[in-house]
Structure 1
Amino acid sequence: MIGQPFIVLNTTDSTNNYAMAQLNEGLVTPGTTWFAMEQTAGKGQRGKQWHSPPGENLMMTTLLEPKVLALSHQFMLSASIALAAYDFFLQYAGDETGIKWSNDLYWRDRKAGGILIENVLRGGSWQYAIVGIGININQARFPDHLPNPVSLKQITGKDWDAVALAQTLCACIQRRFEQLHPTRFEAILEAYKSKLFRWQQPGLYKQGDTYFTATIRDVQPDGRLVLDKDGEIFSVGFGEIEFVITK
């Protein structure tokens, strides 16, 4: 069961790092979840850091064992976890919740959270997935360099119990993870696409030094994003483009 045990850490450098260390020591079982009151070096995608004031936000890592999946199915796990985060946030923030490709949690055009999955391979097989999730809960002020952050408190005007919310998120992950099977990949992908930020809508993007307007037309099973730029259809992989948010 995901979230059993549920371990609260007063402080750690990163819940993903802590989970990896515990796994390497053979001290944990799948489903174990760590929640941090404070991270001193939280990790985001592509080497970025996740900054959070102590005690204000949801910062947790869950250890999963994706037995039925081949390593080539990594995106299906990513999509399922993104859908779980969406299910969770939707309960409190309402139907303006969405997913920004590939797995950021959005409300309107603002970022509420992110997901970082680190895989553990042994003998050429996919043994574990270390799933880190950070969601802005009670933070009211953000660093100026962040382009478009938002927290649940800013959306609702309420203070929340981040630990209790993390346990609710575990239940959402449990439901989506139980559905994660090759026979359901098409349904998972369709659900994921239906929640996408800018789905079938024109938006501004940056690739290298070039800015362009394009429309998201599809997401491939391996996670590549299919764009339509003035009738030219092409696909991009993770990290190849930036979504440009205009204020």
Structure 2
Amino acid sequence: MIGNPFHVLSTVDSTNNYAMAQVNAGPVADGSTWFAMEQTAGKGQRGKQWLSEPGENIMLTTALQPALALPQQFMLSVAVALGAYDFFLKYAGDDTRIKWSNDIYWRDRKAGGILIENVLRGNVWQYAITGIGININTPHFPPSLINPVSLRQITGKNWDSLALAHDLCACLEQRYSRLHPAVFDQWLEEYKSYMYRFKEPGLYKVNGEIFQGIIMDVLPDGRLCLEKGKTMLELGFGEVEFVIVK
């Protein structure tokens, strides 16, 4: 089960780095999870940093061993995104969304992110090192960040980030335990129904050009179908930037 065992680290450079070192040192149980009170070099997607004050937010990594072939890796990404969505929806309400590919949004603001790093042994997908950061108690963010939001800002309440981390693990487990190719079509439709800007006009940046487009679909391999005028672009991870007007 995700979160069993659940390790609490007082300080670490990155929970993903720590988990990666553990699986490289020897076998660990599927669902082993490491939660950090403080990260000194937390990682986000495409090399971005994830920073947080000690004990303020959820910063955890779980080592998963999905019974899937590597070409099916977007299935895991969808399952994890749905689990994180289920969690945040409980506390933040119906304005919760999933921004492609697996950020958690509230309205137009980013509440959390997911970073999955794969460990391969030959052609075998041995582990998916799945890092999740969710803003829980941050009262204010640096002006340099475009659109962050925390659960505290949404609800006006302070939360126990460690207790919520255990609840997040339970929500992830609800999805992960049912992860199977038979459910993927259904889950992909569910994922799209929760997507930020799905079939709504928005600004995007591709190859340095900013334009208004509409997300029309997400393919089973994770590519985003973005309508640009009369053209349909099929874009992979890192090939498109959502333009947020502050």
Q: TM-score range by the shorter chain?
A: over 0.9
The alpha carbon displacement at 1:208 in A equals 2.6
Letter of the structure 2 residue corresponding to residue 192 of structure 1: Y
State the match for 1:188 in structure 2: 187
Give the equivalent residue in structure 2 for 1:56: 56
**What are the Cα deviations for residues 119-160 of structure 1, in whole angstroms up to 9, with x where unaligned?**
110021101111000000000111222100000000000000
Q: Give me the whole-angstrom Cα distance separating, in 1, the residues matched to 2:112 and 2:54.
A: 16
Distance in 2, Cα, partners of 1:29 & 1:209:
43
Determine the structure 2 residue equivalent to 1:140: 139
Extract unaligned runs of 5+ from structure 1. none
> Percent same amino acid among aligned pairs?
67
Q: Which residue of 2 aligns with 1:92?
A: 91
- Give the stretch that moved more between structures: 150-159 or 233-242: 233-242
* Partner SS for 2:128: strand
Q: Report Cα offsets for 1:70-123 as digits up to 9, x if no partner.
A: 100111100110110000000000000000000000000000000000111002
Q: How many angstroms apart in 2 are the aligned matches of 1:32 and 1:233?
A: 41
Shift in Å, 1:27: 5.8
CA–CA separation in structure 2 for the residues paired with 1:58 and 1:194: 26
For the residue of structure 2 that corresponds to 1:52, the secondary structure is coil
Unaligned runs of 5+ in 2: none
1:149 matched residue in structure 2: 148
Equivalence for 2:36: 36
Residues 191-206 of structure 1: pairs in structure 2 closer than 5 A: 191-206=190-205
Task: Write the distance in 2 (CA, Å) between the matches of 1:163 and 1:148.
Answer: 24
Query: Using the alignment, how far apart are the partners of 1:218 and 1:27 within structure 2?
Result: 38
Cα distance in 1 for residues equivalent to 2:239 and 2:2 = 33
- Match status 1:46 vs 2:42: no
**Which residue does the alignment assign to 2:81?**
82
Q: Which moved more, 1:9-18 or 1:227-236?
A: 227-236
Distance 2:2 2:11 in 1: 22
Match of 1:20 in 2: 20
Q: TM-score, normalised by structure 1?
A: 0.98
Please tell me the residue identity of whatever aligns with 2:218. Answer: V
- SS where residue 164 of structure 1 aligns? helix
Structure 2 counterpart of 1:187, one-letter code: Q
Q: Structure 1: which amino acid aligns with 2:30?
A: P
SS in 2 for 1:60: strand
CA distance in 2, matches of 1:165, 1:59: 11
Structure 1 moving runs of 4+ over 4 Å: none
Q: Secondary structure at the match of 1:186?
A: helix
Go from structure 1 to structure 2 and tell me whether the alpha carbon gap of 1:176 and 1:159 turns closer, same or farther (over 3 Å shift): same
Cα distance in 2, alignment partners of residues 123 and 228 from structure 1: 38
In 1, Cα distance between equivalents of 2:230 and 2:196? 21
User: How many equivalent residue pairs?
Assistant: 246
State TM-score, norm by structure 2.
0.98
- Does residue 216 of structure 1 match 2:205? no
